Structure formats: structure tokens, C-alpha cells
Structure 1
Amino acid sequence: MNAATRREQILQLLSQSSGPLSATAIASRFSVSRQIIVGDIALLRAAGADITATPRGYLLERPEAQNHLEINIVCEHADDRLAEELYTVVDLGGALIDVTVEHSIYGQICAPLHIYSRFDADAFLSKLERENARPLCNLTGGIHLHRLRCPNAEVQARVLQALKDKGFLLER
């Protein structure tokens, strides 16, 4: 199979996937190295494919996501409340698309999350623990931004109110 055909099939695979696909899993399917897939993904992005890298693999942004509402919020919490923050959003029907912190040296640092469910939240939390990693908000004393996606205004209002009630929203 030539590279162009492989890239077409990678796009098809991502479009049919119900969740993220790792470069390793894609590489295995096409009997090539992970590095080849990383290069293919870069070329697909350069050609305009809306592919996002998440901690669990690659996602192709679907058109239905464009019908959702997105909002940026500022949050603050300690490490021991991270799970509660994530669960609050997903349990009420929202999704955490990314997290951004303002670093004094590097400026904005943004990382994709793509957390749509408790399963995704648990996978993220497990990876933090397994890798002995710290959340990005540790760089800024717990202050961070999230881009949230909600299917409608009612869900968005419920998520924002719950985050406010639990003291996560920073409103100074």
C-alpha cells in the first residue's frame, strides 16, 4: 500500500472510530511504525483534516461537534479536587475539550483533554497517577482555563451553576 492510500484509510478509520485511536494501534493495523503514523497525521493535518491529539490517541473532529456550544471558563482548585471538577462537568452532560494555563515564561500552554464521560475522566486520572504526573494547573497555583463543550444552553447553564456552587469557577 502506498502512503497516500494509507493516509486515506487512516482518515476513514478515524471517522468511523467511536473514540481516540493511538498511533501504535493505527501503526499495527497498517504494519508500519508508530513514527510513520505520526508523520501521516501531520501531513493529514497540513492538508486540512481536523485531527486532534489527545492523551489517549487521535480523534477526527466530527461535524456534529460544530452544533454544540463552547465556552471558556476560568477555574481554580487543589489537586485533590481534580476528579470532582471533571465529574461535575461530564455528569451533567458537558465535555472538557482542553485546559490552558498562563505561564510566566512560556505564555499560554494549552493541552487537549477530550473528556466526554466518567470513563474518559477515570482514564485521564489513572494516567496522571501511573505516570506520576501533575496537572498543568500546578504551574499556576491551581488557576486554569477549560474550554467546555455542551450540546445546548440548558446543559451549559447546569454545568456552570454546578461548578460555581462547588467553588470551582474563579470569579474575582
Structure 2
Amino acid sequence: MPRDKKLSGEERRRQIADSLKKETEPQKGGALAEKHGVSRQVIVQDISLLKAANYPIIATPQGYLYNHPQTETEKTTSIIACRHTKAEMAEELNILVDHGILVKNVIVEHAAYGELSGQLMIKSRKDVERFQQLMDEQEASLLADLTDGLHLHTVEADDEPSIEEAKQALKTRGFLVEHVADE
């Protein structure tokens, strides 16, 4: 398509959605902006409008990802509770990905806001490294800082034994929370 032909916002959003559907890896907003000849802020707005139109697009630290519905060979999903410090975050995530786990998100329960979550979609040590680097560069706090380190992860694996092995490794390291003491 020639660059000089301006697309309508609706057509650009359709192309963005179609492009994300085809990709298996997250796509950075800047790359989408360059591809469509618009600013990154326009892409952010387009993604918001696509989400409002019920497109299953999620924003991860690695970029935008189309959340395809699971197929017949569904993965096993579980929610696990963990507690650790910011300095131990990468270790916790590496334990999970080393067991073939996809860490879909992090969730905390806030007293005023209720459930707060962040989409992670971390599946490899490289993803953990990138996330750690982003957290350091942005001097960002963990969501779990709001809850004295206590947080949940929605995780996904090929089978239940993988999740159980990962939970055991987290328990051995002292990261897994199986019950919370009354305070």
C-alpha cells in the first residue's frame, strides 16, 4: 500500500487488529505506529477503541498481543499465591518459566480499588530479563508492594504436573503462599 494514501481510523484499526491476530509475539506500540504512519499515542488510542469493541487485545510489558481463544488442546490454568521482595522477583519468575509456565498476569487485592492486575505474558528467561530491565529503567514499584508482597499469578502450562512441580519449587524457595496467618 502506498504511504501517501491516508487510511481512515476505522480502516487502520482493522489493519492493526488483523496484524496482531497473525503475530505470535507481542508487538511494540512504536513499531505499529511506524508501520501505520501515525504517532504511538494514536496507536494507544486505537488499541483502546479496539478493546472497547471487544477485541481480545492485551497490553503486556513486551507490547500488544491478540489473546486468541484456546483451542481443543487447552492448556492447564491455575492461580497461585506468592510473596517475595522486589529483589527476588526475577528469581520467582525464572522458577516458573523454567518449568514451562506462562505467567499471564499479576493480581493484588487493594483495600480501596479492589482487584488490580497487570498483564505480564512472561514465558521465558529472556522475557524475565526484559521485564526486570523495564522495571529498573522505569524505577517502577511492584503491584505487590501495595499488599506487603502478597500477590497472585494466573499461570498456564501444558499439563497439571508442570504447575505442581513449579509450585513445589516456589514452596521450597519460600515464595509460595498456601495460607495467610490471621493478623
Structure with greater proportional helix content: 1
Q: How many residues align?
A: 172
2:130 is equivalent to residue 101 of structure 1? no
Question: Which residue of the partner structure matches residue 43 of structure 1?
Answer: 49
Q: Which amino acid aligns with 1:122?
A: E
After TM superposition, the structure 1 = structure 2 runs for residues 7-18 of structure 1, keeping only pairs within 5 Å, are 7-18=13-24
Shift of 1:79: 2.0
Q: Against the structure 1 CA distance between its residues 65 and 115, is the aligned structure 2 distance closer, same or farther, given a 3 Å change threshold?
A: farther
More off after superposition, 60-69 vs 157-166: 60-69
Mapping 1:1-172, distance limit 5 Å: 1-64=7-70, 67-172=74-179
Residue type matched to 2:52 in 1? A
Q: Which is greater in Rg?
A: 2
Which structure 1 residue ranges, 5 or more long, are not aligned?
none
Query: Residue deviations 1:88-107, cap 9 Å, x none?
Result: 00011001111111222322
Q: Write the deviation string for residues 1-59 of structure 1: whole angstroms up to 9, x where unpaired.
A: 22232222112211222311122211110101222222221222222211001122110
Percent identity reads 38
Q: Counterpart of 1:63 in 2: which secondary structure? A: coil
Secondary structure of the structure 1 residue equivalent to 2:174: coil
Counterparts of 1:76 and 1:125 in 2: how far apart (Å)? 17
What secondary structure is seen at the aligned counterpart in 2 of 1:114?
strand
Any idea what SS the aligned residue of 2:97 has? helix
Distance in 2 (CA, whole Å) between partners of 1:106 and 1:119 is 32
Give distance in 2, aligned partners of 1:40 and 1:139: 31
